[in-house]
Structure 1
Amino acid sequence: MINREHLALVASTLAFLAGLILVVLGAVTGNNARLADTGSVLTFASLPPVILAKVRRHQRITRDTAEALRREGYRLGLEHASRGLLTPPPVTDGGGPGTSTGDVATVHRLYAVPSCGNNLTPRHKAQ
């Protein structure tokens, strides 16, 4: 299926190649500097559209790639659910170990990060 992006890529690439051909012809003949100048202007003018069209083409995700990514995400979600990684641990509210309340949010402690409010070690607290 040919769309506007393909046509833009083909047109800009053809303009770039035509400019290069004009530069080479102007350089080979030696007596037609205007031909080489026209070719260099055409080459440099068509360079940004060529780059833009190629970048857009490479960054576009095809329908098959998007479907494969969606399936992989779904598979990973099912795998995490089967391992129990998606269920939060029970929250203890002083009513004993393992008792959970529905209105309390689960806060997971990050042991690699020091707590914000208390940066003192127990040795410094005693002083």
Structure 2
Amino acid sequence: MVTREQLAVVASTLAFLGGLALVAFAVTTGNHPRLADMGAGVTLGSLPFVILAKVRKANHINRDMAETIRREGYRLGLEHAGRGLLNPPPIHDNGEGAPRDAIATVHRLYAVSPQQQQDYAAAVERKQQAR
């Protein structure tokens, strides 16, 4: 079955090649400048459509590819669930009787170091006191 994307590729490519043929014919005969201009206009006008059709065709996935992607995602999800990667880390309040190895560690990621934060806070405080 012929799809719209295939028809778009064929139509835009034919228009592009037709424009090139008009330019080539006008150049080889030498005495048809309007024909060369029309061919150049058709060629340049159809070029964006050729590019768009080719990009859409390259990005098109069929049912088999979609099914393969779905199965791989399902397999990775099962693997991550089996390894415990989908469960959030346990949250403990470090209360009495909590074993040391059961306490979740949270590592803070700073855009700037804690020392730089303290220096900035001290500079802001000094500026406010100077007023």
Confirm whether residue 109 of structure 1 aligns to residue 115 of structure 2: no
Shift of 1:85: 1.9
Confirm whether residue 64 of structure 1 aligns to residue 64 of structure 2: yes
Question: d(CA) in 2 for partners of 1:31 and 1:110?
Answer: 78
The 3-state SS of whatever aligns with 1:88 is coil
Q: Which one of 107, 114, 126 corresponds to residue 119 of structure 1?
A: 114
Q: Which has the higher contact order (CA 8 A, sep 6+)?
A: 2
Higher helix share: 2
The 3-state SS of whatever aligns with 2:92 is coil
Question: d(CA) in 1 for partners of 2:37 and 2:27?
Answer: 10
* Structure 1 unaligned blocks of 5 or more: 99-106, 121-127
Mapping of residues 40-119 of structure 1, within 5 Å: 40-96=40-96, 97=98, 109-111=106-108, 113-114=109-110, 119=114
Residue 66 to residue 108, structure 1, CA distance change in 2 (3 Å): farther
Residue 33 to residue 114, structure 1, CA distance change in 2 (3 Å): closer
Question: d(CA) in 2 for partners of 1:90 and 1:43?
Answer: 64
Instruction: State the one-letter code of the partner of 1:92.
Output: H
Q: What is the CA deviation profile of residues 24-64 of structure 1, one whole-angstrom value per residue up to 9, with x for unaligned ones?
A: 11000111112111111111111111111111111122222
Residue 80 to residue 34, structure 1, CA distance change in 2 (3 Å): same
Confirm whether residue 16 of structure 1 aligns to residue 16 of structure 2: yes
Extract structure 1 runs of 4+ deviating beyond 4 A. none
After TM superposition, the score normalised by the length of structure 1 is: 0.74
The 3-state SS of whatever aligns with 1:64 is helix
Instruction: State the one-letter code of the partner of 1:114.
Output: Y
* Structure 2 unaligned blocks of 5 or more: 116-131
